Every structure is written in structure tokens, then in C-alpha cells.
């Protein structure tokens, strides 16, 4: 009976008996109510200071700098910024003695403050120095941009953990030519800016593609911070006027061509496979065309369809074709046909058996 009740409890929620706790005294119930209230209050606690005309001068201009958001409760952009702003405040909560993050309802109780500081739109962000002098903030409204701004102005570090290093090389004016101008490399370069929304949207796909092409030593995916002043000569050289701007430098064209395709993982993979002559699959691994050569595929079909006495002629055709394609794949086509004609009996069957475990493994993995 006990087991039956247990299974009914976990598998059929509607069959669960209602639980009562008659042993709880009124005092204990009150204690739990207070505990729950304190817990909820703790969860909702914010590190963003709420300023108004009554406490503004107690915080601003008294020896500590800070960032202040002038907002309106009905403002859509303010609502979008709110969770990010909370994260910003959390990121500097460990240095509250050195910097503050605050907000003012400039359409309500703090309206006089909004008027005093010339607020005409929402949200308006202003940086107040330790002496109370203010300057407008015009950077990005994402966590990284706001945190970087506060760190620079206040000279303190946030608690935000740095992101893992990207899977692609970051080039600058001193390393660009070494990589992009290498005649043995095909190189895709994205010129981006830290504050650029489109760049941030593209970044996950770009990183996945870079990881996918890591095994291709002659097909490189790279990035340049086009907003960094030290790279201004590069952005001028390649006429970068907006972000992201993407250029492809092939082995035989180091002037570069503009990439005008889509910015999804599929778009980048298809473009690079075409330009680099690779067969990489979206998400990693290889496509079923990897290692395949159309000209040699045609000869292989001709070889296996030919009579035994005609196979040698096809082998000679393959040998002649090697003059224009000396790749390892081409040589393998030729070697299999040659061994089938002049090698030991059963060569092809042995070769297939040798490769079968590997083919099965890769088919299973990819």
C-alpha cells in the first residue's frame, strides 16, 4: 500500500493527498510568514540606488563618482534597459565605497532633477564626477559597454568574468599583413566594433564557423577591432565605414573582396567551402563530398564498368590526370585503380575492410 501511494504521488500529481500541518503553532506559522517575507525582500533587493530631490545631494557630488539613469516608468527603452542596469549595479556592488549606480524617476518624484540636468528624453544616462560635475553618457546600453565605461571613469574593476578567448585570431595593424597577406592562406576578416549591435548578433555564428574551420590550416577566419584607433589605417585602407564589414582575401587576390552574403553559420560555411575548396559541414565535421573529386569519380565509374582488358587504359587516363591534380585524394584514386589491375588479388576487398571501422565511426559521430 505504501509503495502504491508513493508511485501515485510522483506519477499522478492530482492524486496527491492534501498535506496539513496541525502541529504548527500560531507562533511558528508567524515565524515562517516573516521568514518568507524576508526571503522575498532579499531576492528583490537591488544595488541600484533610487534618488530623489530629498537624497540626491547626499549621494552625488560628495566625493564619490557614479552613473545615474534618468528614466520614466512608462518608457519602453527604460524597461528594456532595466534588467541590464541591475546587472551593472551588481557588477560594482563590491566597490560601493568607490562608485555608485543610481536612477531617478524624472517623470515623477524626480522631475525637478530631470529639469535641472536638462533631461529631454528617456532614458538619459549621466556620469557624475566626485565633485558633482556631470557629463552625458553616449555609449552602448549593453552590460559590457556600461561596465567598461564605469571601470574607465572610476578606475575600478567590475566583477564580470571575462569571456573565453575567441576561437579566431584577433588581428591589428601589427599582425594583419602577416596573416591576411600570406599567399598560402585564404583569410576571411570581419571588421567589427565593441558597441555594434549587428556585430554582437553575428559573433556566435562567426565563432562557430571559426571552430569548424580550425582543421583547415589554409582557410583562416579572423577579426579586427575597427573601432580601435590603432587600426585606423586598416579601416581606411579597406574603406570600412560601417560595422560589421567583412572582407575575403584569397590566396590569389590579396586586394580582398567584400563579403555580401548572409551572416548565419550556414551562409559563412557555404561561402568558405566554395572559396577555399573545402567540404566542411555546418556544426563541424565533413560533408559527404569530402575527399571526392568529380573528374576522378567519373574515371572510377568508368574503371569499374570496363571489361578487365580495358581497365589498364582507364588507369593510364587517371595517371595523365594526376599531372593537373597532385592532391592526396587524387593519388588515392589512382593507387586503388592501379592496385586493382596489377596488385595482389582481392586488394579492393581488403582495402574496404581496412577502412570500414573508420567509415562507421565517422558516420556515427557526424
- Residues 286-322 have pLDDT tens digits of 888 877 888 888 988 988 899 988 888 998 988 898 8
Quickly state the pLDDT bin for 328 (edges 50, 70, 90): confident
Mean per-residue pLDDT, 343-354: 75
Cell numbers for 120, please give them.
Answer: 529631454
- What does the DSSP assignment read for 81-108? HHHHHHHHHHHTGGGTTT-EEEEEETTT
Residue 272: its H or E element = helix 265-276
Tens-place pLDDT, residues 260-280: 999 999 999 999 999 999 999
- CB-count exposure of residue 100 (10 Å: 0-12, 13-18, 19+): buried
Are 179 and 187 spatial neighbours (Cβ–Cβ below 8 Å)?
Answer: yes
pLDDT, one tens digit per residue, over 214-234 is 999 999 999 999 999 999 999
What's the number of CA atoms in the CB half-sphere (13 Å) around residue 354?
A: 6
Contacts of residue 177, defined as CB under 8 A and 6 or more positions apart, other chains included, come to none
Domains in the chain, ordered, with CATH? 2-42 (no CATH), 49-154 (3.40.30.10), 170-276 (3.40.30.10), 294-365 (no CATH)
Active site residues: 75, 78, 196, 199
pTM above 0.85, yes or no: no
Q: Per-residue pLDDT for 159 more than 60?
A: yes
Higher pLDDT: 105 or 195? It is: 105
Residue 13 — very low, low, confident or very high, per pLDDT cuts 50/70/90? very low
The pLDDT, as a whole number, for residue 15 is 42
How confident is residue 19, by pLDDT bands cut at 50, 70 and 90? very low
* Cα 364 to Cα 366: distance, rounded to the nearest angstrom: 6
Q: How far apart are CA 271 and CA 346, in angstroms?
A: 42
pLDDT of 3 > 70? The answer is no
Q: Residue 197: which of 259, 133, 145 has the closest Cα?
A: 145
Question: Which of 134, 189, 138, 158 minimizes the C-alpha distance to 47?
Answer: 158
Q: What is the DSSP letter of 139?
A: S
Q: What is the model's pLDDT at position 332?
A: 84
Considering 32-41, 72-81, 280-289, 351-360, the range whose residues carry the highest mean pLDDT is: 72-81
Amino acid at each position: 500500500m505504501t509503495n502504491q501511494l508513493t508511485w501515485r504521488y510522483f506519477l499522478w500529481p492530482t492524486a496527491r493527498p492534501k498535506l496539513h500541518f496541525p502541529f504548527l503553532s500560531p507562533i511558528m506559522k508567524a515565524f515562517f510568514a516573516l521568514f518568507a517575507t524576508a526571503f522575498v525582500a532579499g531576492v528583490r533587493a537591488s544595488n541600484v540606488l533610487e534618488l530623489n530631490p530629498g537624497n540626491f545631494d547626499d549621494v552625488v557630488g560628495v566625493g564619490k563618482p557614479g552613473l545615474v539613469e534618468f528614466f520614466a516608468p512608462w518608457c519602453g527603452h527604460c524597461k528594456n534597459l532595466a534588467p541590464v542596469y541591475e546587472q551593472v549595479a551588481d557588477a560594482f556592488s563590491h566597490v560601493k565605497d568607490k562608485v555608485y549606480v543610481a536612477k531617478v524617476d524624472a517623470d515623477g518624484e524626480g522631475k525637478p532633477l530631470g529639469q535641472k540636468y536638462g533631461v529631454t528624453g528617456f532614458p538619459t544616462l549621466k556620469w557624475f564626477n566626485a565633485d558633482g560635475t556631470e557629463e552625458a553618457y553616449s555609449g552602448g546600453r549593453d552590460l559590457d559597454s556600461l561596465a567598461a565605461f564605469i571601470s574607465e571613469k572610476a578606475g575600478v574593476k567590475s566583477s564580470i568574468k571575462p569571456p573565453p578567448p575567441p576561437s579566431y585570431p584577433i588581428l591589428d595593424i601589427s599582425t594583419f599583413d602577416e596573416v591576411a597577406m600570406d599567399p598560402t592562406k585564404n583569410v576571411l576578416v570581419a571588421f567589427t566594433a565593441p558597441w555594434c549591435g549587428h556585430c554582437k548578433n553575428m559573433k556566435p555564428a562567426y565563432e562557430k564557423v571559426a571552430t569548424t574551420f580550425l582543421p583547415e590550416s589554409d582557410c583562416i577566419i579572423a577579426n579586427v577591432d575597427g573601432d580601435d584607433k590603432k587600426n585606423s589605417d586598416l579601416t581606411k585602407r579597406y574603406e570600412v565605414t560601417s560595422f560589421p564589414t567583412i572582407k575575403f582575401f584569397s590566396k590569389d587576390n590579396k586586394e580582398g573582396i567584400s563579403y555580401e552574403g548572409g551572416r548565419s553559420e550556414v551562409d559563412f560555411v557555404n561561402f568558405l567551402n566554395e572559396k577555399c575548396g573545402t567540404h566542411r559541414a555546418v556544426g563541424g565535421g565533413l560533408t559527404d563530398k569530402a575527399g571526392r573529386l568529380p573528374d576522378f569519380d567519373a574515371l572510377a565509374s568508368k574503371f569499374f564498368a570496363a571489361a578487365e582488358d580495358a581497365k589498364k587504359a582507364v588507369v593510364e587516363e587517371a595517371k595523365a590526370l594526376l599531372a593537373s591534380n597532385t592532391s592526396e585524394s587524387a593519388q588515392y584514386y589512382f593507387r586503388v585503380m592501379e592496385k586493382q589491375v596489377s596488385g595482389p588479388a582481392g586488394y579492393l576487398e581488403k582495402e574496404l575492410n581496412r577502412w570500414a571501422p573508420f567509415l562507421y565511426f565517422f558516420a556515427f559521430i557526424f
